[in-house]
Amino acid sequence: MSVYLTAIIKSTPGNAEQLKAILKTLVSGSKSEAACLQYDLHQAQEDPTVFIFHEEWASQEDLDLHNVTPHLKKFVEESAAILDGKPIMHITKRVS
């Protein structure tokens, strides 16, 4: 059964473009995972420091495996100094 995840990530002021570049690398690595069914990155129009991921994974086990991949670990290391707070994560279910 698919697992849906929405993640909201915010950069510190002046670092949106740097964070966007890091996130694009994360997207590339994540989309290469066989269990990744969707991995879309959006940037808020009203606040360009806010980035939103919409993800779909084949299973919870696959999402758990994604969370320990080298590309996710690299994101955590590279973005730590420019994040405004911790990412907000929501596991969701499709309603319609």
What are the residues facing 35 on neighbouring strands? none
pLDDT at 90: 98
Residue 77: per-residue pLDDT? 97
The reported pTM is: 0.94
Residue type, 9: I
The pLDDT of residue 65 is 97
| C-alpha dihedral, 32 to 90 to 72 to 65, nearest 10° | -70
CATH of 3-92, one of 3.40.50.300, 3.20.20.370, 3.30.70.100, 3.40.50.10420: 3.30.70.100
Per residue in 8-33, pLDDT tens?
999 999 999 999 999 999 999 999 99
Q: Residue 54 corresponds to which amino acid?
A: H
Per residue in 69-94, pLDDT (tens digit) is: 999 999 999 999 999 999 999 999 98
pLDDT at 10: 98
| Amino acid 13: pLDDT | 97
